Amino acid sequence: MIGRILFAWKQGINLDENPKKWRLVADVLNDLAMLVELVSPAIPDYFVICICFASIARAVVGVAGGATRATLTQHQAR
C-alpha cells in the first residue's frame, strides 16, 4: 500500500498527461514483476528481496493501469 501511495503522489499528474506512455510502462512492469516472481525460487538468498520488488511493481502497475484506463477508453470511444 505504501508503494501505491508514494507512486500516486509522485506521478499522479503525469499519468493524465501521458496515458499511453504510462500504460506501456504498466504492461512492461507487469511482465517484469511476473518474471521476477517466477525466477525468485531459483535464487533463495534473494527470495525476499525479489518478492518485495515484485509486490511493489504490481502496486505501480495497479495505479498506472487503473489511472490510464479511463483516459484510453474515452479516447477509443471517440
Tens digit of pLDDT for each residue in 6-63?
766 666 666 667 777 878 888 899 999 999 999 999 999 999 999 999 998 988 888 8
What is this structure's pTM?
0.72
Q: Would you state the pLDDT for residue 43?
A: 92
Please state the domain count of the chain. Answer: 1
What is the domain extent for residue 66? 2-77
DSSP 40: G
76: its cell numbers? 477509443
Closest CA to 8 of 49, 66, 48: 66
Q: Would you state the pLDDT for residue 2?
A: 75
Q: Would you state the pLDDT for residue 35?
A: 95
* CB distance 40 to 50 below 8 Å: yes
Determine the Cα–Cα distance for residues 9 and 28; give it in Å rounded to an integer: 21
